[in-house]
Amino acid sequence: MAEKFQAVRGMNDILPEEAHAWAFLEAVLRHWLGQYGYLEVRSPILESTGLFTRSIGEVTDIVEKEMYSFVDRLNGENLTLRPEATAACVRLAVQHNVLYPGPQRLWYMGPMFRHERPQKGRYRQFHQCGAEALGFAGPDIDAELMVMTARLWALLGIKEVTLEINSIGSAACRARHREKLIAYLELHRSELDDEGVRRLHSNPLRILDSKNPAMAHIIESAPRLTDDLDDESAQHFERLQFLLSSAGIPFVLNHRLVRGLDYYNGTVFEWTTPLLGAQSTICAGGRYDGLVEQLGGKPAPACGFAFGMERLLALIQETQSITIPVSAPDVYVVYQGEDTQPAAFLTADALRQAGLAAVLYCGEGGFKNQLKRADSSGAGYAVILGEDEIRNQTVSIKPLRGQGQQQTVSLTHAIQLLKQERTHA
Ligand code: HAM
């Protein structure tokens, strides 16, 4: 036997039953984003490597260790499979002058790629749904983004989530804080891991989101950015908290929340859950007021978030917070004998034209076998065509679930009955 191929490690196949749950979630998300006036954008999954190194930052986990980057051997271009889409979304907006008429609320959904160590909730190809509000300066949009995610959790019946917020201030605040942080970390140099030592002078803020438990106590007592906030950042953060409280959205202040990407400033936030083990963050975001300019656009403030769709689906499935409707045809068409096959073809098509989902038995099997298939398809009814039915220009409808009697009626009547049944289901 020929050797079988496997999907690339950390990259998941999505089989029909799961794909159905994905499509259901995607439809909910589209509707929800539309309700808030967000417009969809779709960008390529490949971008110039420089886009990510410049926006996410050279000294970050993503850029140092996790990007699928390669040189296109056909033209020598440096390309990267997108590890996230904020940079891509801003690139798209700058390239196409999307902000020319004014601020824009945009959203996207699709696969992202990071070469991380795969485990439950952490994959090398995963999917994000994200919203980016470009051109908005005030804390009202920060609040809107958090309120709308809270609304999504409610729509999906998810209760076990906590909103954590922080402000990492302006570039000037971070520069002040950086000096203090370096001085503090120098005192604890011997307790830092290799990565910490390496980042001590190049990007000390990143040390604060290290997951190394041995460094937790150093990080806990490190100088806090919130103590260095300038008036404007502090007022923005105060107003955000006021708006969240007015909207009835509980939150906790997490002074250690600094996010792992360099483009952030001011508000940062994460939605976490205790139900998904180590991968506890389902949604994350914040302000990135400098990114549009940094990527060549006219300066424009911005704020956004993205959540992992695998993590969200796992949370829905783990807590059974909503019932995802099963995918099954309305009817399954079976026939007795080869001579009735052409009529079965036409009948199935007539059912579809009437708006029903009708699957026609295909293959060699006998009648009993066909009925078994009909049953396992999940359809509510079998439509049967035999010689008698053809002769009398009728069809038989056999209920496959529950009680109900088989009836033989005209096709028009059958369509009426089946449509009625569907609206009652
Ligand atoms: P991030 O924190 O890197 O932020 O990722 C956002 C979310 O994507 C995470 O909270 C998690 O749910 C999901 N995620 C990340 N990596 C993986 C993975 N390897 N496997 C499964 N899920 C994963 C960003 O990407 C920013 N672009 C968010 C943002 C948008 N900030 C402003 N706008």
193-226 pLDDT, tens digit per residue, is: 999 999 999 999 999 988 899 999 999 999 999 8
97 three-class SS: coil
The response to whether residue 282 sits with its C-beta less than 6 Å from ligand 1 reads yes
> Which among 76, 85, 84 has a CA at the least distance from the CA of 106?
85
The response to whether residue 308 sits with its C-beta less than 6 Å from ligand 1 reads yes
Which residue matches tokens 């952030």? 264
What is the reported pLDDT for 168? 96
Q: Are 116 and 10 in contact (CB under 8 A)?
A: yes
Which residue's CA is the nearest one to ligand 1's atom 30? 305
Closest ligand 1 atom to residue 285 Cα is 31
The response to whether residue 229 sits with its C-beta less than 6 Å from ligand 1 reads no
Query: How many Cβ atoms from other residues are within 10 Å of residue 2's Cβ?
Result: 4
Residues 26-63: tens digit of each pLDDT: 999 999 999 999 999 999 999 999 999 999 999 999 99
Across the 425 residues of the chain, what is the mean pLDDT of every consecutive 10-residue run? 97 95 97 98 98 96 97 98 98 98 98 97 98 98 98 97 97 93 95 94 91 92 92 97 98 93 97 93 98 98 98 95 91 95 96 97 93 96 96 96 92 95 75
Q: Rounded to 5 degrees, what are φ and ψ at 181?
A: -65, -45
Q: Are 366 and 335 in contact (CB under 8 A)?
A: no
What is the reported pLDDT for 365? 86
Q: What is the H or E stretch that residue 374 is in?
A: helix 367-376
List all residues 6 or more positions away from 31 whose beta carbon is below 8 Å from its beta carbon: none
Q: How far apart are CA 230 and CA 77, in angstroms?
A: 42
Q: How far apart are CA 156 and CA 163, in angstroms?
A: 16
> How close is the Cα of 285 to the center of ligand 1, in Å?
8
Closest ligand 1 atom to residue 85 Cα is 27
> Which among 192, 161, 133, 94 has a CA at the least distance from the CA of 318?
161
Q: How many residues make up the chain in this entry? A: 425
What is the reported pLDDT for 325? 85
Which residue matches tokens 């999954």? 45
> How close is the Cα of 164 to the center of ligand 1, in Å?
15
Q: What is the pTM of this model?
A: 0.95
Two tokens, residue 60: 């970050």
Query: For the CA atoms of the chain, what is the radius of gyration?
Result: 28
> How close is the Cα of 17 to the center of ligand 1, in Å?
25
**Amino acid letter, 241:** Q
> How close is the Cα of 120 to the center of ligand 1, in Å?
15
